[in-house]
Each structure stands twice: as C-alpha cells, then as structure tokens.
Amino acid sequence: MSTAREVLSVRDLARRVPAAHAPGRLLLGLAGPPGAGKSTLARRLCAELTGAGRVAVVAPMDGYHLRNDVLRARNAVARKGEPDTFDAAGFVADLRLLRRSRIGEPVPWPLFDRAVDEPTPAGVIVRDEDVVLVEGNYLLLTDAQAPGWAEVRPLLDACWYLDSPRAVLTERLLARHLRGGRSPEQAMVKVTDSDLRNAELVAASRGRADLVLTGCGAGYRIG
C-alpha cells in the first residue's frame, strides 16, 4: 500500500499496470493537460514494462492531429491542439480496432512528427505488445465538453491522469514553442490563449481518472 504523499518511481507505477487478458491487449490511458509529461511517462513506463518481461508500446493521441491543410481550410490553424482540431472519430475507430485485435495481429497507429508539425500515418505498428499505453490530452472528456470524445474512455481498461502545477506547464510549453521557432511574444500568446485554455478543459475531466499522479522530481506523487 502507498500513502497519498509517497513518491512513486516509474518501476512502482509499472507494478500498478493491470495484467492483460490474453489473447486481448491491455489498453491503459494516460490523460492530462498539455506539457504535463504524458509522453515522457509513457516512454518511461514502456521501457520499464518491457524490461520487466511484458511487451509494451506507446500509442499517442497526437497522431490524430488534423493535417495543417485541413486546419487552414477550416480557418483553425491558430486553434491547433483544441479538441475539434483532432480526428476524434478516427482515433475512436482505431482504438476499437486495437480493442478487438489479438496479441500478434498488426494494427497500424499514426504518430505526430513535431519537426514537420504533421501526423505520420502508420508511424508505429502495434503487433506483439500486450500493453498499449494510450496517451493524450482528451481521453477523459465528456461529449458535453467536446463532441466525440466520450467514446474513448469505455475503450480503455483504465485511465491515469498526469498533472503538473500550472507554473510548470507554462514554463515547459513556452520552452517548447520557442524551440519550435516562435518568438517569445508568439509563444506567450499560444500558451495563454490556447494551451492553458485546453489545460482547463482537461482539468475538468481529472475526476474521471482511476489514478491521479503529479510529477515530483524524478518520481510521481499520487493525487
């Protein structure tokens, strides 16, 4: 048993990942606001699980970003990252495929290439993995929050929520946008007008998580 204040290592968290019911796979969601560290935790958990004799893969929600030409046609480029700038229906359809597939059956999954700011179709092929770490912002939304997303949660066996203090999110997101080529002013506008608004929407879904974690140094605190 762990207390609420205990700091858990990635190894501790890996032990909390439920067993798969072979021949099906275990789908574990990792939700949370932009910049919380979901992709980082997913990568770390994947390595830890794989080292512990399971076979894990990361299936990010990010690969379902609509392409920039579609966003331009919808006049939605500035809103990139909001729930309706993703192909939620495609994400749900592929989650259903994963849900139905047996370990060993290939299921292509798109990735998101930050260097070109576009999705890469079939960026990874899920095949032999018994654990799929599905990570992204909007896994726990209701349809009242954003149409189309409520179908996600029932397709996951469990869903964890990774949080970070707002100041940490702001600092990380600013750094990311500066690295991506935005000026300091543009980066600040993107963070305050877009990322942090999305973070608030995501925060309202936190109560639906099976486990809430907050990054704490090299580890993760419960709650």
φ and ψ of 142, to 5 deg: -90, 165
- From CA 193, how far away is CA 183, in angstroms rounded? 15
Which residue in the set 85, 137, 194, 205 belongs to the binding site for ligand ATP (CB under 6 A)? Answer: 137
Which structure tokens are listed for 23? Answer: 């021949």
3-state secondary structure of 67: coil
Spell out the residues 6+ positions from residue 88 whose beta carbon is closer than 8 angstroms to its own: 64, 138, 146, 147, 148, 149, 152
Does residue number 39 form part of the binding site for Mg ion (CB under 5 A)? yes
Instruction: Give me the residue whose beta carbon is nearest to ligand ATP.
Output: 37
Instruction: Give me the residue whose beta carbon is nearest to Mg ion.
Output: 39
Complex with ligand ATP: residue 62 or 129, whichever CB lies closer: 62
Min. distance of Cβ 117 from Mg ion in angstroms? 14
Spell out the residues 6+ positions from residue 85 whose beta carbon is closer than 8 angstroms to its own: 65, 66, 71, 76, 79
Q: What residue 83 binds from Mg ion, ligand ATP, none (CB within 5 to 8 A, per partner kind)?
A: none
Does residue number 205 form part of the binding site for ligand ATP (CB under 6 A)? no
Does residue number 58 form part of the binding site for ligand ATP (CB under 6 A)? no
Complex with ligand ATP: residue 27 or 174, whichever CB lies closer: 174
Complex with ligand ATP: residue 172 or 208, whichever CB lies closer: 172
3-state secondary structure of 114: coil
Does residue number 38 form part of the binding site for ligand ATP (CB under 6 A)? yes
Q: What residue 172 binds from ligand ATP, Mg ion, none (CB within 5 to 8 A, per partner kind)?
A: ligand ATP
Does residue number 137 form part of the binding site for Mg ion (CB under 5 A)? no
- From CA 160, how far away is CA 29, in angstroms rounded? 6
